[in-house]
Structure 1
Amino acid sequence: MLVREAMTSPVVTIPPSATVRQAIRVLDEHDITALPVVEGTGRLVGIVSEMDLLRGEFDADPRAFARPLPSSRTPTPRRVADVMTRDVRTVRPGADVAELAETMMSTRVKSVPVVDGHDVVGIVGRRDLIAVLARGDARIRDDVVTAIAEYGPPGSGWDVSVDGGVVELRGRADASARRIAGILAQTIPGVTRVSIHGPDAGRGG
């Protein structure tokens, strides 16, 4: 499965000149957790998350403390440019979702902008990956059957079963037809692995 099949698009972005409160309202209105930060030319210059925006935004309530709090405090950042992460990990639309998921887990990155050239074309967050995996087996099976029927070699009959996102293809087909069927099955959102069974057939994906 490719990143472009899992990403959220179009993506909501924000300029670095926006205020922190403006960015917070955008997150709330769109029910999202991160915003790619882009300049007027569309160039990606950073990413800002919920945690970045919340840091320092709340004053301590004196009712929670036995002694009065000092009146002076460090001014909170006012602009997105002051709080955003500038070293942004990005991914291409044609990248493999499985590889991206491993990277996100190992680095603990929650959201990754998707860039095509200089354009931000989408974003992949943990919610997107969960949504892909949450697709039911029956729906996945229907999509696999449809894809093979529409784009596979004519006359290739397959018995398709899906269990927990793992697709099993059973049928009599030559090596070329098996390879094509396996590739088509792997493009379906929610598919985690593909196994092909038949005369002299090995395992795919």
Structure 2
Amino acid sequence: MLVRDAMSTVVLTIGPTHTLRQAATLMSARRVGAAVVLDPDGTGIGILTERDILNSVGLGEDPDSERAHAHTTTDVVFAAPTWTLDDAAHAMSRGGFRHLIVLERDEPVGIVSVRDIIRCWAPVRERPAATAQVPA
């Protein structure tokens, strides 16, 4: 199975000056765990995750004044729609992250998450439970 088969095409895109509260509100409304941060004048394409927001709030930072750019991961590993889910899982495991931005022709076309991969793999890997033997 390929990344294109598992990825979410609901891509929330925000700017670097959005506050963390604005980002969290948009992420919650769209029911997504990450936002693509587009900064054409700066770092290009980055990602802001729910964990980034949680870490900031946990440090006592104000989500109404903290800006996305200060919490965005800019050293991003991108996936291609033609990657296998194994390729995506290995990239996530090596990098220690749970989301990959999917690029096609240098444009974000989706996000694939660990949850997406598990959702696709679970039905394939489920095996019928063996019938339990009851001793006589």
The answer on whether the counterparts of 2:79 and 2:103 sit within 8 Å (CA) in structure 1 is yes
Q: Which has the higher contact order (CA 8 A, sep 6+)?
A: 2
CA deviation map 1:39-84 (0-9, x unaligned): 469x952111112112343687xxxxxxxxxxxxx77762101111
TM-score by length of structure 1 reads 0.53
- Conserved in 2, the CA contact under 8 Å of 1:104 and 1:110? yes
Q: 1:127 to 1:59 in 2, by over 3 A?
A: closer
Letter of the aligned partner of 1:106 in structure 2? Answer: R
Residue 53 of structure 1 aligns to a residue whose secondary structure is helix
Unmatched tracts of structure 1, length 5 or more: 61-73, 138-162, 166-205
| Aligned with residue 164 of structure 1, among 121, 126, 129 | 126
Q: Secondary structure at the match of 2:4?
A: helix
Structure 1 Cα separation of the partners of residues 51 and 26 of structure 2:
14
Quick one: which amino acid aligns to residue 127 of structure 1?
R
The aligned runs of 1:94-113 (5 Å cut-off) are: 94-113=82-101
Q: After superposition, where does 1:7-18 map in structure 2 within 5 Å?
A: 7-18=7-18
Residue equivalent to 2:75: 87
Seen in structure 2, the aligned counterparts of structure 1 residues 46 and 164 have a Cα distance that, compared at 3 Å, is same
Where structure 2 has 5 or more consecutive residues not aligned to the other structure, the ranges are 128-136
Q: Secondary structure at the match of 2:79?
A: coil
Distance 1:5 1:81, change over 3 A: same
- Tell me the TM-score normalised to structure 2 length: 0.77
| Residue 115 (structure 2) aligns with | 127
User: Which 4+ stretches in 1 moved above 3 angstroms?
Assistant: 74-77
CA distance in 2, matches of 1:75, 1:98: 38
- 1:1-205 aligned within 5 A: 1-39=1-39, 44-57=44-57, 78-135=66-123, 164=126
Residue 40 to residue 107, structure 1, CA distance change in 2 (3 Å): closer
| Corresponding pairs, count | 125
2:36 alignment partner, SS class: strand
Letter in 2 for 1:125: S
Q: 1:133 to 1:51 in 2, by over 3 A?
A: same
The answer to whether the 8 Å contact 2:12/2:34 transfers is no
With over 3 angstroms needed to count, the CA separation of the structure-2 counterparts of 1:44 and 1:114, relative to structure 1, is farther
Instruction: State the superposition RMSD in angstroms.
Output: 2.7
Question: Any idea what SS the aligned residue of 2:90 has?
Answer: helix
Q: SS state of the match for residue 66, structure 2?
A: coil
3-state SS, counterpart of residue 55 of structure 1 = helix
CA distance in 2, matches of 1:125, 1:164: 20
Cα distance in structure 2, aligned partners of 1:128 and 1:59: 29
Distance 1:101 1:28, change over 3 A: same
Q: Match of 1:186?
A: none
Q: Which amino acid in structure 1 is aligned with residue 72 of structure 2?
A: M
